[in-house]
Amino acid sequence: MPLMYSQRLKNGSPLLFCAIATVLLANAAQAQSNSETDAGSGADSNIQTSVFGHLPDGRQVDVYQFTNANGIELRVTNYGGIILSLKTPDMDGKFDDIALGFDSLEAYLSDEYRQANPYFGAIIGRYGNRIAGGQFSLDGESYSLATNDGSNHLHGGEQGFDKVLWQAEPFESEAGTGLVLRYTSEDGEEGYPGKLETEVTYTLTDNDELMVEYRAVTDKATPVNLTQHSYFNLKGEGSDTILDHQLMINAPEFTPVNDTLIPTGEIRSVDGTPFDFTQATPIGERIEQDNEQLSFGGGYDHNFVLARDDAASDELVVAAKVWESQSGRMVEITTTEPAIQFYSGNFLNGDLTGKQGQAYGHRSGFALETQHYPDSPNQEAFPSTTLEPGDTYLSRTIYRFSAQESFDE
Ligand code: GLA
């Protein structure tokens, strides 16, 4: 299939897109040549594959495990593109799994999980976060989507990209090892217009980065907002809360919401509010303050507008950094996206038991989801999330993992 990187979203930087295109093309070629050797053999390389289980309709679901030169280990399944585990070293070189999730496919398929719907580790699409009332209009047509979050549409609907089986090809390239995931969302799926061909590439580099690249093309105009919904606890998943983790978000502004978590349209300065994370601050320091926005979210569940010299630019910028003092673990997130949703795990309530057999309690993991703003299809003043036929949706986010004695080291 010809790639269309010469055509791009309105505010895209051609140079960056060329770079991404080169990496994606190299990855795709590499994936092709490696698929016969590495996939399935699990032999001598730092890529191993195994069977995770089967879907109710009999389709096989796999797990792909990648290890980098420093021993960081990433496990991903082609069901929902879910990151199952991520083992990184602490300051003493001790590895822990920092990603919340489960050991078995059954756990991800269970009714209990689907009802709680935390979206642990999954790829989110076709539209990450909420669309008010599940309604939007595009080119004079009205569209109705599932209202799966009270009166609103959330994370792509009843069966979003987190609950579908992706076609997967592992690869080894100069950048590292990883997985190309492809999924075609049919015209009308979950109520969205246009057949959307989606590709998400995970690359684990020897520089201790997890790079996530998203690409999509459509045959009709459609809203697209893809993201990754991993929850981390830098002390190790199954530990207590993340309230002591120090967080920096490179965002001078955020988008306040109404009581159903739909942005009001205002873009508000974080100055003097509990939403000011421009300097590293413990997540829990102000979370219980008497603040209307915090009460709507039950804590933090808000979209932060990233600082950019040129608001329309999609150069990579540092979006957020999180550091935890016991382990010294740090994650730094850079992205081409204009915003990041910070969710402090407010809906976790101990009902779900994770990999260590520990209940995932209130705020025992945080998610930082790089994205466009929620409800953009209904908010003309927000950067557009409409993908037109002939254009290519491209987005890139890099998570860099390290361990250090202080936040600023
Ligand atoms: C996003 C939303 C939250 C919640 C989580 C999943 O972060 O903004 O409100 O739905 O996903 O539980």
Give the tens place of pLDDT for each residue, 165-200: 999 999 999 999 999 999 999 999 999 999 999 999
CA dihedral sign of residues 290, 291, 296, 299:
negative
Q: CA-to-CA distance for 270 and 274, rounded, in angstroms?
A: 7
Q: What pLDDT score does 106 carry?
A: 97
Take atom 4 of ligand 1 and give the residue whose Cα is closest: 118
pLDDT confidence bin for 74, thresholds 50/70/90:
very high
Q: What pLDDT score does 274 carry?
A: 98
Active-site choice (189, 369, 372, 388): 369
pLDDT confidence bin for 386, thresholds 50/70/90:
very high
Q: CA-to-CA distance for 370 and 234, rounded, in angstroms?
A: 19
Bridge partners (DSSP) of residue 331 are 322, 401
Bridge partners (DSSP) of residue 85 are 75
Reported pTM: 0.90
Q: Judge whether 229 counts as a catalytic residue.
A: yes
Contact by Cβ (8 Å): 240, 364 = yes
Q: CA-to-CA distance for 104 and 318, rounded, in angstroms?
A: 34
Q: What pLDDT score does 20 carry?
A: 44
Q: What pLDDT score does 344 carry?
A: 98
Q: What pLDDT score does 101 carry?
A: 98
Contact by Cβ (8 Å): 119, 162 = yes
For residue 129, pLDDT beyond 50 = yes
For 38-47, 186-195, 275-284, 364-373, which range has the lowest pLDDT when averaged over its residues? 38-47
Q: Which of 117, 303, 347, 370 to mutate to test the pocket of ligand 1 (most atoms within 8 A of CB)?
A: 347
Which atom of ligand 1 is nearest to 374's Cα? 8
- The CATH number of domain 8-403, selected from 3.40.50.10470, 2.70.98.10, 3.40.50.1980, 1.10.3720.10: 2.70.98.10
Q: Cα(343) to centroid of ligand 1, in Å?
A: 7
Q: Judge whether 369 counts as a catalytic residue.
A: yes
Q: CA-to-CA distance for 383 and 380, rounded, in angstroms?
A: 8
Q: Cα(93) to centroid of ligand 1, in Å?
A: 32
Mean local confidence (pLDDT), 23-49: 50
Active-site choice (229, 245, 302, 372): 229
Give the chain's count of helices (H) and strands (E): 4, 28
Q: CA-to-CA distance for 310 and 321, rounded, in angstroms?
A: 22
Mean local confidence (pLDDT), 372-377: 98
Angle at 289 between CA 283 and CA 292, to 5 degrees: 110
Token representation of residue 339: 């915003």
Q: Cα(121) to centroid of ligand 1, in Å?
A: 12
CA dihedral sign of residues 117, 121, 123, 127:
positive
